[in-house]
Amino acid sequence: MINASVCTIGDEILIGQVIDTNSAGISRSLGEAGIRVRRMLSIGDDRDEIFNNLRNELKLNPIVITTGGLGPTKDDITKAVLAELSHSSKYVENAAQMEIVYRILHSRGLEVLPNNKAQALVPENAEVIPNTLGTAPVMVFRFKEEEYGHPATLYALPGVPFEAMGMLPAVLDDIRAHNELCDIHHRNLMVYGIAESALSQKIASWEDALPKDIHLAYLPNPLTGIRLRLSIYGGHKEEEMLRIESEVAKLKGILGNLIYSDDDDSLENTVGRLLKQSGKTLSAAESCTGGEISHLITSIPGSSAYYLGSVTSYAVEVKEKVLGVPAETIEKYGVVSSEVAAAMADGVRCLTGSDYSVATTGLAGPGDDGKNPVGTVWIAVSGPAGTRTVCRNYKNDRKRNIERFAASALDFLRLYLTETKML
């Protein structure tokens, strides 16, 4: 595997004002393309720091990817340092990027000022990948073996995450064109509702019998569950994918509906896809999740095709008056109960006329209600096959508990939709 360094440049990262998300995104994409990131480094907008550190990274690894420091303001000096590093004695205008600069500024109704035009100027020894998403071009600097002990290439990407991640495929194409990369064949499966340790035990004998060239990775995430990734390095794509699929088939036999998607996916998108396929509609009634379920569902473009809306019933009166939860039910079982969750789900389904609904009532913390521990949630799903409820418990802070409750509710809804075969 070929090695790489990822380097972010900018005082805003170094003083902790901005969290660096580019490095993780770049590393993940490089890894999936068969390039191993060995170091991530963040440095400030300082000539010596940039110059010396980039030289050092080029010595250590044949591929160096930088982000940031390419803006039009005075503090962004990366381009000047790269000119020096690449022994460029002048800047040349890149026509393709200049056209993009004009197009972007005109579309915003802005005049093209000298410092905007300067964005399309690059050191003479840079190759350019025009940045279609912003004004600063992607620059490629190739260094001969004599200089760093091995041929080395530096890719300078803009710092805006949307632009950096958007231009990364073009960088990967260039890396592939200049290097013999081992093909990697991947297959993802998304799993929810089981802890990593329990999952590992459940699939232990399958994992032990896995052919030695098929690699398995567990990639857990509290909100989307565990991504299982099977990979084969090298070989003929179609043949290797067939071998992977035969292992996936066995795994599906073991895990059943713990698997919610055949690809890298989210629970809210999976639920949306199921509803869209069947032409059915959904609504939500939220207490302890406070709007998070609705927010997740509507984060999916096109969700208005199946999502009618929700009621956040934070106050007891809203549960009673808007959702029609009987006062006696609350009195008898308490707000955090199976019965109230069910009545909320039924209530919002009736109110909106949706085919399905999901509801939550629980305690996100920090305070409890004297009866249930913090982290308790009752989830209900209502639909043509009746109303189901489940109780879950998490032990996180308020923010994390709310996120977990919402993910858990979406998964419970997903199970209802698939198990009742209404689709």
Nearer to a copy of itself, 115 or 304 (CB): 304
Nearer to a copy of itself, 18 or 92 (CB): 18
Residue 121 CB, nearest approach to a copy of itself (Å): 23
Residue 54 CB, nearest approach to a copy of itself (Å): 13
> Which of helix, strand or coil describes residue 37?
strand
Q: What is the phi/psi pair of residue 191, to 5°?
A: -120, 140
Nearer to a copy of itself, 128 or 350 (CB): 350
Q: What is the phi/psi pair of residue 168, to 5°?
A: -60, -40
Nearer to a copy of itself, 25 or 334 (CB): 25
Q: Give the whole-angstrom CA distance, residue 160 versus residue 103.
A: 18
Contact 351, 405 (CB under 8 A): no
Residue 220 CB, nearest approach to a copy of itself (Å): 8
Nearer to a copy of itself, 43 or 129 (CB): 43
Which run of H or of E encompasses 219?
Answer: strand 214-221
Residue 233 CB, nearest approach to a copy of itself (Å): 15
- Find the helix packing angle between 398-419 and 267-278, rounded to 10°: 30
- Show the tokens assigned to 220: 């857990």
**Contacts by 144-150, CB closer than 8 A, 24 or more apart:** 147/58, 148/55, 148/58, 148/59, 149/59, 150/62
Q: Which residue has the tokens 């007891």?
A: 316
Residue 181 CB, nearest approach to a copy of itself (Å): 17
Q: Give the whole-angstrom CA distance, residue 75 versus residue 77.
A: 6
Residue 122 CB, nearest approach to a copy of itself (Å): 26
Nearer to a copy of itself, 248 or 282 (CB): 282
Q: In what order do the strands lie in the sheet with 376-383?
A: 282-286, 356-362, 376-383, 386-393
Residue 192 CB, nearest approach to a copy of itself (Å): 17
Contact 115, 134 (CB under 8 A): no
Residue 239 CB, nearest approach to a copy of itself (Å): 26
Exposure b/e, 337-349, CB count within 10 A at least 16 = b: bbbbbbbbbbbbb
Q: Is 177 exposed, middle or buried (0-12, 13-18, 19+ CB in 10 A)?
A: exposed
Nearer to a copy of itself, 104 or 251 (CB): 104
Q: Which residue has the tokens 């050092």?
A: 56
Nearer to a copy of itself, 176 or 398 (CB): 398
Residue 383 CB, nearest approach to a copy of itself (Å): 18
- Candidates 139, 159, 131, 118; CA nearest to 10 is 159
Nearer to a copy of itself, 246 or 304 (CB): 304
